[in-house]
Amino acid sequence: MQMVDFLEKALRQKEQALIQYVRYMREAQDSQNEEMAALFADLAKAEEKHITVIRDQVAQLSGDKEMLNQYEYINQYNSQHQEEITEH
């Protein structure tokens, strides 16, 4: 279970990084800096991919299928709102 604990810690760190990137992206959009906003949007998308991989590994190793459903819902929500943000 040490591996699961390590992966869960990495998952939390990735989630925090994602939140920061989205925050920076919005700040860049507010200041009309579209180049920086696009950069942070790309970084946020990369973090989402990392989160998905780590989440899947945690669920597989721990046998927690409910965790997959929770993160799938969160990812769908984030993806929908990310598209709305990057369109503006």
When divided into structural domains, the chain yields a total of 1
Percent of the chain whose predicted confidence (pLDDT) is above 70: 70
Write down the pLDDT at residue 7.
92
State the average pLDDT over residues 46-55: 94
| Domain coverage including residue 47 | 2-87
Give 44-49 contacts, CB < 8 A, sequence gap 24+: 44/18, 44/82, 45/82, 47/14, 47/17, 47/18, 47/21, 48/18, 48/75, 48/78, 48/79, 48/82
Distance CA 65, CA 52 (A): 14
Asked if pLDDT for residue 87 goes beyond 60, the answer is: no
pTM of structure = 0.69
Rounded to the nearest integer, the mean pLDDT of the chain is: 84
Residue 63: pLDDT band (50, 70, 90) is confident
